[in-house]
Amino acid sequence: MRRLIPAFAALGAVLGAAPASARTDWSRAEQVTVALSSFDFTPSTIRLRAGVPTVLRLVNSGSGGHNFAAPGFFAASRIAPESAQRIRRGAVELRGRHSAELRLVPAAGRYRLRCTHLLHSTFGMTGEIVVE
């Protein structure tokens, strides 16, 4: 029984804690736009500040589909729940001429970025996310 009391206390603290997005002031978030086009990310090196709330706007300017695949980046970041719904297996899918906004707080590190659609990364649709 003595072992269960701390476990229940910890569970109560977790359940009672506000989600990260509720504690984050998104009105002052940095805005970063990344364009996805035929075999290119612009910019190809995305620079963000660690621990700073960021709205990452992904814009597919091409007519075909692309994705923004950065599993390590998404796994390390705190992501607002409404944005987390857009991410599947570490990637955000975007149909042609569509966009998405992701609210997140990035963690320091260097992360690989690529489009996982057939041959897109082979043709140069790769990049890097640098968070300092």
CATH number, domain of 73, equals 2.60.40.420
> Is 65 inside a domain boundary?
yes
> Is 5 inside a domain boundary?
no
pLDDT: which is higher, 41 or 16: 41
The residue-averaged pLDDT of 83-105 equals 98
- The pLDDT, as a whole number, for residue 21 is 57
104 CB neighbour count, 10 Å cutoff: 24
- The pLDDT, as a whole number, for residue 64 is 94
The residue-averaged pLDDT of 46-61 equals 98
Report the alpha-carbon distance of residue 51 to residue 65 in Å, rounded: 31
Expressed as residue numbers, the domain containing 97 is: 23-131
* pLDDT at 18 exceeding the cut of 90: no
Encoded amino acid at 86, one letter = R
> Is 73 inside a domain boundary?
yes
> Is 17 inside a domain boundary?
no
Tens digits of residue pLDDT in 19-48 = 455 678 899 999 999 999 989 999 999 999
- Number of compact structural domains in the chain: 1
> Is 6 inside a domain boundary?
no
> Is 1 inside a domain boundary?
no
Q: Which residues pair with 33 in a beta bridge?
A: 57
* pLDDT at 7 exceeding the cut of 70: no
> Is 77 inside a domain boundary?
yes
Contact call for residues 36 and 61 (beta carbons, < 8 A): yes
> Is 9 inside a domain boundary?
no
